[in-house]
Amino acid sequence: MVTPHVAGQPVLELKGIGKEFGAIRALPGVDMRIFPGEVVGLMGDNGAGKSTLVKIIAGNFPPSHGEIRFDGKAVHFARPIDARAVGIEVVYQDLALADNLTAAANVFLGRELKRKFGPFAFLDHKAMAARALELFGELRSETRPHDLVKQMSGGQRQAVAIARTRLSNAKLVMMDEPTAAISVRQVEQVLSLIHRLKEQGVAVVLISHRMPDVFAVCDRVVVMRRGEKRADKAIGDTSPEEVTSLITGAKEAA
Amino acid sequence: MATPPESPIITFTNVGKAKWWQSGIFASQTGYVLLALVALFVVMNFASPYFFTEGNMQNVAKNFSFIAIATLGVTFVIITAGIDLSVGSMMCFSAMITSMVMTHISTPGTPGAEWFVHLAADSKTVIANVPGLILLVSLLAGLGVALMVGLVNGFCIAVLGLSPFVTTLGMLSIVRGLGYVVSNGRGSFPGGPDADYFYALTSGVVFGMPAPFIYLVVLAVAMAVVLHHTSFGRHVFALGGNEKAAALTGISVVRVKVEVYVICALAAGLQGIIISGWLGSAPANMATSYELNVIAAAVIGGANLAGGVGGPLGAIVGCVLLEVIRNGLVLAQVNSYWQQALVGVIIIVAVLVDRIRSRMA
C-alpha cells in the first residue's frame, strides 16, 4: 500500500474522521495516512466527501468525531490559521490571490516582512522580492516578483499560490483542483511544481477530477464515494479504468 | 532548508518584462488625468492672463484643499471596494461640535467652563486659564464625534455585514439630523479667547501658502507611506483586490475595514473643521452634498469603485482638476452653472478612457 521510498512516520494520520451536518452524514468515518514526500490523489465525484474531508484537515470546521494526528501528535483546529501554524497549507481552487498586487506581495500577504524604524514598522520590499524570487526559482517558474498577478498566466498564478505555501516550510500542501481551469501547457507547469514540492519532502494531497494528472504525478490514489474511502492504492497497482469505475460506483471497493 | 543548487537564478525565456510606460503611474488613470491637468494648465495660461497670478494660484490651492483632505479619507474606503456617503454630513457635524464646544467652555458660568476660563478684573473680558487648551479640547471633541461615527460605520459594515452604500446613506441622514438637533438648526460660531488661534490654524497663511494646503500635503505624504510601505496599507489593497483571499491568508478583514471607515470619518471631520474656520461659522446646512464632490474627485483621480486601485496623488489630482475647471470657467466668463454639467462629463470621460486603455493593453 505504501510506496517504497516513503516509510516511517506519517505526516498526517486520520483515524475514524467523520462529520455530520444535522441529520446528514457527510462522512461516516475515514482513516487515512499520508507520508512525507508523498503525492496522494484524492478523487471522487461531486458530493463524495472530498471537500468536507479537506476542509476538516484545513481547519475550516472541526470533525464530529475521530482524531487527526499531525507529525505524530493529536491536533485540534478551531480555525484555518491553527492548521497553518502546524504546517498545513491549502492552495484553493480560485487560488486566493489579490489581482491588483504583485507576485511578491501575494506570496507574503498576511505575513509581510517588516523593518522597524522606532515605533513604526515598514515593509521590507527588497527582502520580500528576493525571497519570492528564490521561491519561484525553487519552483522553476518564470515569474517576476514585481509583476502584477492580473498580468500573469494561469501557471504563474499557481506558482505564486504554491510559493506562498513554501514560505512557512509547510509539511503538507493540499491543492484543490489546481489544473481545472488552465491550458495544457500550464498543466505541465503545475504538475512540475508538484514534483518540486515532492523533491523537497513535502507531502501533497491533490484533489482533482482529471485522471491523467493524477496518474502523471501521484504515488497513491484515494477514491471517495458517498463519504467513504472506497480505495487506497499505489498508482502502479491500479488503472484509470479501475479508478473511474470506483468513482462511479460500478465497482464498489478495491 | 535545502535549496537546489541551480536556484534561484531564473532565466526568463518566454516571459517578457513590462515596458516602463506599461507599468506604475504611466499605466494608471491617475497618470493620464495628471497629463490632462497639465494640458489644462497650459490652455488656461493662454486663455486668461489672470490664471497664473499668485493670488489666483493661492485661491485655487485653498479651494481644492477644502475637499482634498476628505478625498484622501474616502480614497482609503474606495480602495477597499467600499463607499462612504456620510462625509458631507460628517464635515458639518464635526465643525459644529468643535465650535459649539469652543463657545460653551469659553463662556464663564456654564458648567465645566470654570476649568478653562476666568473673568478678568473688569469682569467683562474672558481670559483663558491655559492658552490653547480650549482649542485643543474643542478640536478633540470635533474629531471625537467623527471617530465615533467612523466606528459605527465600520461596525455595521464589517461586523454586521451591511452594505457600505446603505449604511453610509443612513449615516448621511443620521449625522445631518443630529447636527440639526444639537444646533436647533442654527449655525454655530467659534468664539472665546482661543478663536484667533482657531482662525490662524484653519485659514491662515504659512510661508505664502494657505494652511489647509500644508495640512493636505503632509497628510497626502503620510497616506502614501502608509499605503505602500506598511502592512496595513498592503492589506487595504488586498481587501479591495480580493476580499476572500485576504481573509484566507489570515488578514483581519473586520479590523482593516473598521480602520478605513474611521480614517475616512476623521479626515471628513478635520476637513469640516478647516472649512468652518474659513467660513467663520458652521451653519447647519454646511457641506451639503459635498460627499458627491469628494467621491467624484477620488474617481476622476483614478480610485476604482470596484476596489483595489487608488492613492493620494490621484485624490489630489482629481480635486485640482475639479477646482481648475471651476476657476477656469469663471475666468473665461462662462456661465458658472455649466460647471456641474462639465464635472459629470469629466467623470464619465475619465472612466471611459481608462476602460478603453485596459481593453487595448
What is the Cα A75 distance to its own chain's centre? Answer: 18
Question: Measured at the alpha carbon of residue B187, what is the angle toward residues B182 and B188, in degrees to the nearest 5?
Answer: 80
Q: Is residue A133 part of a domain?
A: no
Q: Is residue A139 part of a domain?
A: no
Please tell me the distance from the alpha carbon of residue B65 to that of residue B212, in angstroms, as a whole number: 6
- Scored b (16 or more CB within 10 A) or e, B196-210 reads ebbeebbbeeeeebb
Q: To the nearest whole angstrom, how far is the Cα of B78 from the nearest Cα of chain A?
A: 14
| Residue A4 φ then ψ, to 5° | -60, -35
Nearest to B299, CA basis, from B239, B263, B343, B244: B343
Q: Which three cell numbers stand for residue A226?
A: 458517498
Q: Is residue A240 part of a domain?
A: yes
Q: Is residue A232 part of a domain?
A: yes
Q: Which three cell numbers stand for residue B252?
A: 483581519
What burial class does residue A228 get, using C-beta atoms within 10 Å of its C-beta: 0-12 exposed, 13-18 middle, 19+ buried?
middle
Q: To the nearest whole angstrom, how far is the Cα of B359 from the nearest Cα of chain A?
A: 13
CB contact under 8 A, A141 and B13: no
Establish, for the pair of chains A and B, how many residue pairs have beta carbons separated by less than 8 Å. Answer: 104
Q: pTM of the full predicted structure?
A: 0.86
User: Hey, of B25, B29, B239, B242, which one would you mutate to test binding to chain A, going by the most A CBs within 10 A of its CB?
Assistant: B242
Which positions in chain A touch B1 (Cβ < 8 Å)?
169, 200
* CB-closest option in A92, A94, A137 to B7: A137
Please tell me the distance from the alpha carbon of residue A19 to that of residue A63, in angstroms, as a whole number: 5
Q: Residue B254 to residues B122, B144, B159: CA-CA distances in angstroms?
A: 57, 21, 6
SS3 A170: coil
Contact A22, A239 (CB under 8 A): no
The boundaries of the domain holding residue A174 are: 12-98+153-248
Contact B153, B167 (CB under 8 A): yes
- Write down the domain spans for chain B: 28-360
Neighbouring residues of A142: CB distance < 8 A, sequence distance ≥ 6: A136, A156, B10, B11, B12, B13, B14, B15
Contact B95, B286 (CB under 8 A): yes
* CB-closest option in B7, B15, B225 to A134: B7
Q: To the nearest whole angstrom, how far is the Cα of A35 from the nearest Cα of chain B?
A: 19
Q: To the nearest whole angstrom, how far is the Cα of A177 from the nearest Cα of chain B?
A: 17
pLDDT of residue A4: 45
Nearest to B271, CA basis, from B241, B236, B314, B315: B315
- Scored b (16 or more CB within 10 A) or e, A55-72 reads bbbbbbeebeebebbbee
Which positions in chain B touch A133 (Cβ < 8 Å)?
8, 10
Q: Give the range among A44-48, A180-184, B4-8 with minimum mean pLDDT.
A: B4-8
Regarding an ipTM greater than 0.85, the answer is no
Q: Which of residues 308-337 of B touch A (CB under 8 A)?
A: 308-309
Q: Is residue A196 part of a domain?
A: yes
Q: How far apart are the first and last CA of chain B?
A: 40
* CB-closest option in A96, A148, A200 to B245: A96
pLDDT in tens, A120-168: 889 999 999 999 998 888 777 888 888 888 888 877 888 888 888 888 7
CB contact under 8 A, B12 and A101: no
CB contact under 8 A, B246 and A156: no
pLDDT of residue B23: 59
Q: To the nearest whole angstrom, how far is the Cα of A121 from the nearest Cα of chain B?
A: 7
Which positions in chain A touch B12 (Cβ < 8 Å)?
142, 144
| Residue B15 φ then ψ, to 5° | -115, 105
Q: Which three cell numbers stand for residue B49?
A: 492672463
Judging by DSSP bridges, how do beta strands B126-128 and B117-119 pair with one another?
antiparallel
Q: To the nearest whole angstrom, how far is the Cα of B227 from the nearest Cα of chain A?
A: 10
Instruction: Report which DSSP code applies to A73.
Output: E
pLDDT in tens, A161-171: 888 888 877 88
Contact B85, B243 (CB under 8 A): no
pLDDT of residue B21: 56
CATH T-level fold of B28-360: ABC transporter involved in vitamin B12 uptake, BtuC (1.10.3470)
pLDDT of residue B227: 94
pLDDT of residue B16: 59
pLDDT in tens, A188-245: 878 888 888 888 889 999 998 888 888 988 999 999 888 888 888 888 888 888 888 8
CATH number of the domain that residue A159 is part of = 3.40.50.300
Please tell me the distance from the alpha carbon of residue A209 to that of residue A207, in angstroms, as a whole number: 7
The domain total for chain A is: 1
Q: Is B241 on the interface with A (CB under 8 A)?
A: yes
Nearest to A209, CA basis, from A178, A249, A163: A178
Q: What residues in chain B have per-residue pLDDT under 50?
A: 1-8
Q: Is residue A147 part of a domain?
A: no
Sign of CA dihedral A63, A66, A70, A73: positive
Which positions in chain B touch A97 (Cβ < 8 Å)?
242, 245
Residue ranges of chain A whose CB lies within 8 Å of a chain B CB: 80-81, 84, 92, 94-101, 105, 109-112, 114, 120-123, 125, 133-138, 140-144, 147-148, 151, 156, 164, 169, 199-200
